[in-house]
Amino acid sequence: MVNRSVTGNVLFFLLSVIVAAAVSAIAYFGHSTLFSVASTVYFLFTLLSLRARTPAIRAWVTNLLIALPVLVIHSPAHLFHFGETLVSLLSFLSFFLGILAGYFFFILGPSLRLLPAMLLIFINLFFWTVGAHLWFNFVNYGFFRANMDPIPVPAFMFTDASGKPFNDPGLKTRVLVLDFWNTSCPACFHAFPNLEKEYRKYKGDERIRFLSVNVPLKSDTTGQWSRMLAPFHYSFPQVTSTLTTGNDFGVRYYPTVIIIAQNKMVFHGSLDDACKVLPEYLHRQ
């Protein structure tokens, strides 16, 4: 009996490893998708495993064998690179949310077992619709909402590709869209075509100005930022700043878009979200 039990546990653990690896691969489609898939799959996997287990295998052993591969796959990155992986923390925890929901569904009586299932559905719907976006904003920008209470604009000085100070009297009287980026940010380069699209959309509108603001890294060489942009022939205005400019503006993640209206910072977030609220600020201008 002991040998059968041990063999069964080993085979079940191998199955758990396969399930954990397969579900983890869903991260390719985004953290909101992984959250929903992982919590749902692990709810069903836990419930079916508990029902199929032999009396010789205790429920807590089954739960441990289900959870252990998830911990092995995901824990090292979160332990040693917590800050860098914080955005994926909730999708990591969704595995255990599913395990807990499946376990309580199994042990509760008929009148109560629907509660964990309904709670799981509610959490999934919330995370899929708004929760993932709120968490992404909080981790990367420091705010749950991209729109923010107006705050003073820090002093800043930009220079163009030739090294001359960038002066535009209109910056203080118009809605200003600043796209902060750095040379080691692939996501920044991925977003530039959309920035170009928005710039062309509003080109000629005297109420608004767009600026692509490079925040230099210590490892950057002189003019590196402009040389990296040159092959793409973007038409939006391009400037560089100082090493501390990102911190001065509260930038924690690249790319970050900041909207300045009436000499106050009113938006701090992604380009996609900025495009949604721009008409509102232009209407007030």
**H helix runs in the chain, sequence order:** 2-24, 31-52, 59-80, 82-85, 89-107, 114-126, 132-141, 186-202, 224-229, 245-248, 271-284
- What's phi and psi for 105, nearest 5 deg? -60, -35
Walk along the chain (285 residues) and give the pLDDT tens digit of each residue: 345 467 778 889 999 999 999 999 998 888 899 999 999 999 999 999 999 887 767 888 899 999 999 999 999 999 998 887 898 999 999 999 999 999 999 999 888 999 999 999 999 999 999 899 889 888 888 777 766 678 899 988 899 998 899 887 777 778 999 999 999 999 999 999 999 999 999 998 989 999 999 999 999 999 999 999 999 999 999 999 998 999 999 998 899 999 999 889 999 999 999 999 999 888 876
For the whole prediction, is pTM greater than 0.75? no
Confidence (pLDDT) at 67: 96
Q: Which two tokens stand for residue 239?
A: 């400037």
- Bridge partners, residue 260, by sequence: 176, 265
147-284 has which fold? Glutaredoxin (3.40.30)
Q: Is 159 helix (H, G, I), strand (E, B) or coil?
A: strand
Give residue 56's pLDDT: 66
Contact 171, 263 (CB under 8 A): no
Q: What is the rounded distance in angstroms from the CA atom of residue 115 to the CA atom of residue 135?
A: 25
Cis peptide bond prior to 110, omega within 30° of 0: no
Q: What pLDDT is attached to residue 87?
A: 87
Cα 195 to Cα 198: distance, rounded to the nearest angstrom:
5
pLDDT tens, residue by residue, 26-64: 988 888 999 999 999 999 999 999 998 877 678 888 999
